[in-house]
Amino acid sequence: MELSLRSNLSQSFITNIEKGKKQPSVLTLIRIAEALEVMPQDFFPEYLNFDTKKQIKEKIRKLLELI
């Protein structure tokens, strides 16, 4: 209920998001993040640590040195 009040979204809408019945827009995710006092990207940690081509090449080089 508190998230509903803080984000100005209905409790039923939030429940439907949690159950996977609704997919929130980016703006809705931002509102929820602000209500939770987190950054929107915190919802997607698997996308925060992707490597650039240069980083991948460096990791491969280091692995090859171990062989």
Tokens of 26: 């980016």
- Split into its structural domains, the chain has a count of 1
* pTM across the whole model: 0.67
Given a contact cutoff of 8 angstroms between Cβ atoms, the answer to whether 7 and 14 are in contact is yes
The model's pLDDT over 8-65, given as tens digits with 9 standing for 90+, comes to 999 999 999 999 999 999 999 999 999 999 998 888 876 666 667 777 778 778 888 8
How far is the C-alpha of 57 from the C-alpha of 65, rounded, in Å?
A: 12
Count how many residues are written for the chain.
67
Q: Which structural domain range is residue 17 located in? A: 2-66
CATH code, domain with 23: 1.10.260
Sign of the CA dihedral running 39, 42, 43, 46? positive
